[in-house]
Structure 1
Amino acid sequence: MDTTAIIVTIVGLGLVAFVLWYFFFSARQAASAVSSSSGVQEVAITVKGGYSPDIIEVEKGKPVQLSFYRNEENSCSEELLMPDFSIRRDLPAFKTTLVELLPEKAGTFPFTCGMGMLRGSLVVK
């Protein structure tokens, strides 16, 4: 191996390590729901290349209202799946879609886009 091949290999390994860290080990943005005067836990989520925030913390036994604002036209993000709550919703581009649910047991419940590429979690405490 010559010097160029060694440098390219080292840079490539560094980029692979960065991608692994970014997708699996970097800190993820979490948000706790805010209770309204009516007792409903509310969270606003922006959909643009992912969910922001992608980890949502709520309390068990209190109704939850998630407001998904889809700020893009990417076809991957046009559908929301929350299988543990039997929820499947279309998310129109540049509009807010409300999703209401009642978490009755504690745990971590994933949600994804229709293709499974965008991921988030609802953490019920």
Structure 2
Amino acid sequence: MLRLLLALIAMLIRLISPALILSLALFLAACGSDDPSAEDRAQPTGQNDVPTVEIAVHNDGYEPAHIQLESGTTTRLIFTRKGESPCIEKVTIPDLGVDPVELPMNEPVAIEVTPESDGEFTFTCGMDMVGGTLMVQS
């Protein structure tokens, strides 16, 4: 009887350990830091010779939330609201002179910006609760 119990415990350990290790690895991979690595920073893609970044607006934030831009270059940011929260009905980029812009549900809204200097510029929802960062370098 003891042998059977020990064999059962050994079998459970072999089955649970890989699942536990996989779960822990997925959990750690999903956890990020506030400082985005190069992999987390969105790079503009070309669309009609204007660098373009598509940004999904969810109830809990922007995707991507960190975007790398080049100073002196006009970039088209296309925001598409996917969530229904009233908080995300507008977006603004105050440091670049962009006043709040309405974001209709599931309709892309293009905003063109030309940051003239290097630095980090915040874009936020109309209530200043959900935000992202434009990281500008020359």
Shorter-chain TM-score category?
0.7 to 0.9
1:61 has 2:87 as partner: no
Amino acid at match of 2:118: A
- Cα displacement (A) at 1:37: 5.3
Give the superposition deviation at 1:95.
Answer: 0.8
Structure 2: stretches of 5+ with no match in the other structure: 1-30
User: Which residue of structure 2 aligns with residue 85 of structure 1?
Assistant: 96
Q: Which deviates the most, 26-35 or 82-91?
A: 26-35
1:52 is aligned to 2:63: yes
CA distance in 1, matches of 2:74, 2:86: 30
Q: Residue 6 of structure 1 aligns with which residue? A: none
How far the C-alpha of 1:31 sits from its partner, in A, is 0.6
Q: What aligned pairs does 1:1-125 form with structure 2 within 5 A after superposition?
A: 25-26=33-34, 28=36, 29-36=40-47, 38=49, 40-49=50-59, 50-87=61-98, 88-125=100-137
- Runs of 4 or more, structure 1, over 6 Å off, are none
Distance between the aligned counterparts of 2:97 and 2:35, measured in 1?
A: 28
Letter in 1 for 2:46: S
> Which residue identity lines up with residue 35 of structure 1 in the other structure?
G
Q: Give the structure-1-normalised TM-score.
A: 0.74
The Cα shift of 1:78 comes to: 0.3
State the structure with more CA Rg: 2
User: RMSD across aligned C-alpha pairs, in angstroms?
Assistant: 1.8
Give the secondary structure class of the aligned counterpart of 1:31: coil
Unaligned runs of 5+ in 1: 1-21
Residues 86 and 32 (structure 1), Cα distance of their counterparts in 2 relative to 1, 3 Å cut: same
Residues of 1 paired with 2:70 and 2:102: CA distance? 26
3-state SS of paired residue (2:42): strand
Question: 1:74 Cα deviation (Å)?
Answer: 1.1
TM-score between both structures, scaled by the size of structure 2? 0.67
Q: Partners of 1:109 and 1:73 in 2: how far apart?
A: 25
Q: Distance in 2 between matches of 1:37 and 1:82?
A: 23
Secondary structure of the residue aligned to 2:95 is helix
Distance 1:83 1:72 in 2: 22
